[in-house]
Amino acid sequence: MSTPPTTGLRWNRLLLTGAAGKLGRELRPRLKRYCETLRLSHLEAMGEPGAGEEIVPADLADAAAVDSMVAGVDAIVHLGGISTEQRWEPILASNIVGLYNLYEAVRRHGVKRVVFASSNHVTGFYRQDESIDTRAPLRPDGLYGLSKAFGENLAQLYWDRHGIETVSLRIGSSFAEPLDRRMLATWISHDDLERLVVASLSAPVVGHSIIYGVSDNSTSWWDNTHAGHIGYRPQDSSEGFRAAVEARQPRLDRSDPAVIYQGGAFVRAEPDE
Ligand code: NAI
Ligand code: 15L
């Protein structure tokens, strides 16, 4: 975990969706340190809450359940949803209908800020020899990336029309360590992810801001120049893993779309993979 907060609790009640997912399990103990009560939500039951936690299960596609999930929270870290390329129907239910339900509940309950787990796959069809910033036109690499692009646009609409602030995090690859050569560029450590989420919750004014979620890697495709106001300062780097990763994956097939494009294998993923 990163250094604990020195200024005491910052929020009364924070909501973490997707709390039983991979990143939800990482962020659960970390975010608890910043709030009086951490409300955890997931599709299914999650067992008993710990001290300072409460659990409100909800299917994102169920508007009434989402309304109850959102009532009474100060801010939301929204990780819930489909996180890989899949068939259209679950993506539609969780990432499109689900996100609309979330923002409508946010509007009704006057929640001030959402940190939305978008994805690097909104721009996955840029090439790995290109560098882009957060204002580059979107080039989703599949239905999953397209649903995250919808999410970013929805967040923009709710800022422009309703004054609800969002930071859309285009998370790269958040794993304990980079798993392959692509992740030397896309990796974000769990500690840096915590720093990114806390900075996104804490920055004084964000409107709708977009930021790539990456560590301070030597190989880099993404330029966060326009997101300096968020105050995210990554402290980790994939470089220390390079030798091991390159030894595991010594050769690259340069005609493979997964090697050509930033989205990696997502650019050729079939919906049922
Ligand atoms: P995950 O798949 O482990 O967690 C997402 C959770 O959302 C799952 O546990 C799933 O059951 C839940 N969920 C799906 N549909 C739901 C619904 N209709 N209602 C309620 N819950 C539902 O994914 P992970 O890796 O933890 O990622 C968290 C978020 O971050 C996702 O939104 C993902 O798209 C995004 N992200 C993650 C990256 C990573 O490196 N892990 C990279 C880029 C984006
Ligand atoms: C994502 O959006 C996925 O949720 C995650 O599982 C990783 O595969 C990541 O992107 C990536 O691009 O490595």
SS (H, E, C) 199-237: HHHHCCCCCEEEEEECCCCCCCCEECHHHHHHCCCCCCC
CA of 171 to the centre of ligand 2 (A): 8
Q: Does 130 reside within a domain?
A: yes
Q: Does 105 reside within a domain?
A: yes
Q: Does 233 reside within a domain?
A: yes
d(CA 14, CA 79): 13
Cα 242 to chain centroid, rounded:
24
pLDDT at position 261, please? 98
d(CA 152, CA 253): 33
Q: Does 273 reside within a domain?
A: no
The answer to whether residue 144 is catalytic is yes
Q: Does 201 reside within a domain?
A: yes
Tell me, what CATH number does 48's domain have?
Answer: 3.40.50.720
Residue tagged active-site, from 144, 158, 232, 261: 144
Q: Does 98 reside within a domain?
A: yes
CA of 170, nearest ligand number: 1
Position 269 confidence tier, pLDDT thresholds 50, 70, 90: confident
Domain of residue 232, residue span: 11-268
CA of 153 to the centre of ligand 1 (A): 19
d(CA 229, CA 209): 9
Q: Does 3 reside within a domain?
A: no
Q: Does 120 reside within a domain?
A: yes
Q: Model pTM?
A: 0.97
Please name the helix (run of DSSP H) or strand (run of DSSP E) that holds residue 116, with its range, or none.
strand 113-119
Matching residue, tokens 């409460």: 54
pLDDT at position 9, please? 63
Question: 130-150, pLDDT tens digit by residue?
Answer: 999 999 999 999 999 999 999
Domain count, the chain: 1
Question: 4-27, pLDDT tens digit by residue?
Answer: 555 556 899 999 999 999 999 999
d(CA 99, CA 76): 12
53-55 and 132-133 as β-strands: parallel, antiparallel, unpaired?
unpaired
Averaged over 116-122, what is the pLDDT?
98
Structural contact between residues 117 and 211, judged by C-beta atoms closer than 8 angstroms = no
132-133 and 113-119 as β-strands: parallel, antiparallel, unpaired?
unpaired
Q: Is 4 left (phi over 0), alpha (psi -120 to 50) or beta?
A: beta
